[in-house]
Amino acid sequence: MPAKVVVIGSLNMDLVTRAPRLPRGGETLIGHTFATVSGGKGANQAVAAARLGAQVSMVGCVGSDAYGHELRDALLAEQIDCQAVSTVEDSSGVALIVVDDQSQNAIVIVAGANGALTPAVIDQFDAVLQAADVIICQLEVPDATVGHALKRGRALGKTVILNPAPASRPLPADWYANIDYLIPNESEASALTGLSVDSLASAEVAASQLLTAGAGKVIITLGAQGSLFADGQGFQHFPAPKVQAVDTTAAGDTFVGGFAAALASGRSEAEAIGFGQVAAALSVTRAGAQPSIPTLSDVQAFPAP
């Protein structure tokens, strides 16, 4: 039986423009291309976990619009269980994304239907959570829902992962005890700790602070520098595979989904981090959120370092 991963989070339609550079305030730029692409941090992580070997259920909300149908269909096409994806009377979540010629992006999200994922909806689908090996949450749905889901995951004895993205402030103090793996990137680690995180050394300081706050283990993703793993025993740096980046959108989501799928299947933490990093590296060589996420055979075919 494949391991079961449950993702509780957002589904967004990404409206993606490629442009020579990111616009400044008040400026109009001529873009190269435009595309609508299925995304949302929750849905991206669900797709990553499914393509990378897990049996996945998604818990989330879409709007009663055409995007809502497309977002659900994109998950169904990956054999993701969508019994807990509810359709609500609202617009689906959207993300306005600009990707520049250096493959940097800027994103504005509008939550729409994602805001309807309340603690009561989580309770309604408790059987889905009960069947999980690993539960993953992010921060594109209401805070009250994330806190509730983390607590329920802990009470059920599941492995609980929080990808605190996007983050603009510290997490509620009572969340930490319910998190087995906290996986921020550098800017999220800065927002959570108030520290400047821009190097391996500063990531170690931030990770220590997050462990002291109560997180079980911390993995700070560092883009092209790889990632830093921290637990009560010490730190371990995992260098990233070198690739030519085209679009970094959903690289973090691919890492989280891949890490969760590998961990749920019984791989060690070190193996799961290495696996997630190869998957994330492959994703940045392709454009878009869900279309960029590799399959298990893509990762297995990636040359070993």
Min CB(139)–ligand RIB separation in Å: 10
Under rule CB under 6 A, residue 180 binds ligand RIB: no
Nearer to ligand RIB, 40 or 216 (CB): 40
Burial level of 266, CB count in 10 A (0-12/13-18/19+)?
Answer: exposed
Active-site residue 298, yes or no? no
- Kindly report whether the peptide bond that precedes residue 166 is cis, defined as omega within 30 degrees of 0: yes
Which amino acid, residue 158?
K
Helices 269-284/251-264 angle, 10° precision: 150
Residues 113-172 contacting ligand RIB, CB under 6 A? 140
Residues 19-58 contacting ligand RIB, CB under 6 A? 39-41, 44
Under rule CB under 6 A, residue 257 binds ligand RIB: no
Q: Which one is catalytic: 65, 198, 253, 298?
A: 253
Min CB(249)–ligand RIB separation in Å: 5
Min CB(288)–ligand RIB separation in Å: 8
Which three-class secondary structure string do you get for 69-80?
Answer: HHHHHHHHCCCC
Rounded Cα gap, residues 25 and 30, in angstroms? 15
Residues 237-256 contacting ligand RIB, CB under 6 A? 249-250, 252-253
Residue choice 9, 14, 112, 141 for contact with ligand RIB (CB under 6 A):
14
Rounded Cα gap, residues 261 and 257, in angstroms? 6
158, 133 contact by CB (below 8 A): yes
> By CB under 6 A, which span of 9-17, 125-133, 156-164, 197-205 interacts with ligand RIB?
9-17
Rounded Cα gap, residues 21 and 7, in angstroms? 33
What residue is closest to ligand RIB based on CB? Answer: 39
List active site positions.
Answer: 253
